[in-house]
Amino acid sequence: AQKVTQAQTEISVVEKEDVTLDCVYETRDTTYYLFWYKQPPSGELVFLIRRNSFDEQNEISGRYSWNFQKSTSSFNFTITASQVVDSAVYFCALSEADKAAGNKLTFGGGTRVLVKP
Amino acid sequence: DAMVIQNPRYQVTQFGKPVTLSCSQTLNHNVMYWYQQKSSQAPKLLFHYYDKDFNNEADTPDNFQSRRPNTSFCFLDIRSPGLGDAAMYLCATSRLLQGYEQYFGPGTRLTVT
């Protein structure tokens, strides 16, 4: 069975600080997909990134960067120079390649990030 | 802009009174999903449609039903809402089943009185 663990339930930082969100996953599949979603107070889940299990290249998008390490089953997310608008709950998620699984997302428990001015 | 739309954004219903939530998409995606999200929890998948094929999660109560009359629309019916069904209901779509990201609507917050 799949499992995603986000050990940090809440992180509070002051604006312009960097913040790293941890995500550790468990799966028996060799092919799988990892995702990060942002859920601001408005409630809508916003897709941030998708990563395939066979692509360990790290990625940077503006102030966001992701570090994928299969050896430690981790897919961590860093926000550089945080801003108040980054305040949200961030979810890490995993889906299997098995079509029968229906692209079901297994979510971590989420990490609430509070950026103070 | 292509998007996922949910109506209404807020819904109040009485205990035991049937309620229908709606979702529409302009993305022309094959797959549509319904999630339930309770306060401070991760979203929980209720069911999904791959085109017209309906797939129910094993632990979704019978009280929850869904309809997908065409590619663009999907409905969530709660036949007899209980107090425990108060939650945010999120609709999502994805292009294909395997490994593609899901795009979420803004959600409908359901209150049961």
Task: List pLDDT tens digits, range A28-44.
Answer: 988 899 999 999 998 89
- What confidence score (pLDDT) does residue A102 get? 67
Share of chain A above pLDDT 90, in %: 76
Q: State the pLDDT confidence band at B96, using cuts at 50, 70 and 90.
A: confident
- What confidence score (pLDDT) does residue A104 get? 83
Q: Can you tell me the distance from the alpha carbon of A107 to that of B44, in angstroms, rounded to the nearest whole number?
A: 8
- What confidence score (pLDDT) does residue B1 get? 67
Q: Distance between the two ends of chain A, CA-based, in angstroms?
A: 41
- What confidence score (pLDDT) does residue B5 get? 96
Per-residue pLDDT reduced to its tens digit, B62-93: 999 999 999 999 999 999 999 999 999 999 99
**Beta strand pairing call for B10-13 and B4-7:** unpaired
Q: State the pLDDT confidence band at B100, using cuts at 50, 70 and 90.
A: confident
Q: Which of A29, A35, A45 to mutate to test the interface with B (most CBs of B within 10 A)?
A: A45
Please count the other Cβ atoms lying within 10 Å of the Cβ belonging to residue A60: 10
> Which residue in B90, B99, B107 is closest to A95 by CB distance?
B99
What are the residues facing A107 on neighbouring strands? A93
Please judge whether B105 and A44 are an interchain contact, meaning their C-beta atoms are less than 8 angstroms apart.
yes
- SS3 of A7-73: the string is CCCEEEEECCCCEEECCEEECCCCCEEEEEEEECCCCCCEEEEEEECCCCCCEEECCEEEEEEHHHC
- What confidence score (pLDDT) does residue A94 get? 94
Q: Which of B102, B103, B109, B111 to mutate to test the interface with A (most CBs of A within 10 A)?
A: B102
Closest by CA position to B23, among listed B36, B44, B4: B4
Q: Can you tell me the distance from the alpha carbon of B95 to that of A45, in angstroms, rounded to the nearest whole number?
A: 17
Q: Is B43 on the interface with A (CB under 8 A)?
A: yes
Has residue A101 got a pLDDT over 90? no
Most confident of A11-20, A50-59, B50-59: A11-20
Q: What's the gap in Å between the CA of B19 and the closest CA on chain A?
A: 21
Q: Tokens 């966001």 label which residue?
A: A64
Q: Can you tell me the distance from the alpha carbon of B26 to that of A39, in angstroms, rounded to the nearest whole number?
A: 21
Please judge whether B97 and A44 are an interchain contact, meaning their C-beta atoms are less than 8 angstroms apart.
no
Has residue B36 got a pLDDT over 90? yes
Closest by CA position to B91, among listed B102, B82, B80, B81: B102
CA closest to A34 among chain B residues: B99
A64, A86 Cβ separation under 8 angstroms: no
More confident residue, B45 or A97: B45
